[in-house]
Amino acid sequence: MIELLKSLLYGIVEGITEWLPVSSTGHLILLGEFFPMKVSDSFSEMYDVVIQLGAILAVIVLFFRKLNPFSPSKSPIEKKGTWSLWARVCVAVIPSAVIGLLLDDWLDEHLYNYITVAVTLILYGILFIVIEKLRPSSKATIQTVDAISYKTAFLMGAFQMLALIPGTSRSGSTILGGMLLGLSRGTAAEFSFFMAIPTMLGASLLKVVKLILEGVVLTGTEWGVLAVGCVSAFVVSLCAIKFLMDFVKKHSFASFGWYRIVLGALVIGYFLIFGR
């Protein structure tokens, strides 16, 4: 029961932080430091990635009509536009997919720790504040996802590669990248959500395949832990996505920048005082 409650907490944190530009992986690593679950190392590594499936489902549910090229209510032109959107999403995930496959094991071994998380939280927090301060509101020239070119989609994918470093934030990297490329905050956030679908599905599949190849068999408790985490991540993600889409219409991302800086500083201070 205690492990299920911990998984509920993990799912809530995942659902909030996956879509806000504050790093879901970083928060899950920090949760693992303070509230570790009594599961195998192999399962824990897989869990932190596969739990994102619940968050992905929330995007699919909220944007189902827009993402569904088979919708009977769409005209032939609208269906063609939906296929074009998916094509640009696929182009956008190429950079991180290639680098992620090549460096997955190395990243897990060397960068999945609180030091990396704390440093990247602070660094990207500063970047959020600086970019929001220096970038004029008139800079945005792309106001809808339909106006995103294949080149721009690929460049956003290049920014997504930065999210392979824990604490960076996938949504933060792609939204910042999109804004620098001329997208409005809302458009950058929406396309970032769509990019997450193949990105997280691929990352989850990779972890599951590795687990199978290692011959690991999940216990009943571990299946329950995984199910609770995914379901809670889905429910909370529904709220988080709606919140962010409303938030970006009226506010900048500077507040998230300050949050990252404060959290990163607290993490460094805690471990310097109390040790690991």
Q: How confident is the model at residue 94 (pLDDT cuts 50, 70, 90)?
A: very high
Mean pLDDT, the chain, as a whole number?
Answer: 87
Q: Is the pLDDT assigned to residue 136 strictly greater than 90?
A: no
Please write the tens of the pLDDT for every residue from 49-82.
888 888 899 999 999 999 999 999 999 999 999 9
Residue 83 has pLDDT above 90, yes or no: yes
- Buried b / exposed e across 75-90, counting CB within 10 Å, b at 16+? eeeeeebbeebeebbe
Nearest to residue 126, comparing CAs of 269, 259, 16? 259
pLDDT in tens, 168-221: 888 888 988 898 898 988 899 899 999 989 988 888 888 788 777 887 777 888
Identify which has the larger pLDDT, 255 or 111: 255
Q: Where are the domains of the chain?
A: 2-274
Q: Is the dihedral of CA 239, 24, 32, 58 positive or negative?
A: positive
Contacts of 255 (CB under 8 A, 6+ apart): none
Whether residue 37 is predicted with pLDDT greater than 90 in this model: the reply is no
The reported pTM is 0.82
Token pair of 75 as six digits: 């005209």
Q: How many CB atoms lie within 10 A of CB 17?
A: 23
Task: Give pLDDT, residue 137.
Answer: 54
- Residue that the structure tokens 């897990």 belong to: 108
Q: For residues 169 and 126, give the distance between their C-alpha atoms in angstroms, rounded to a whole number.
A: 14
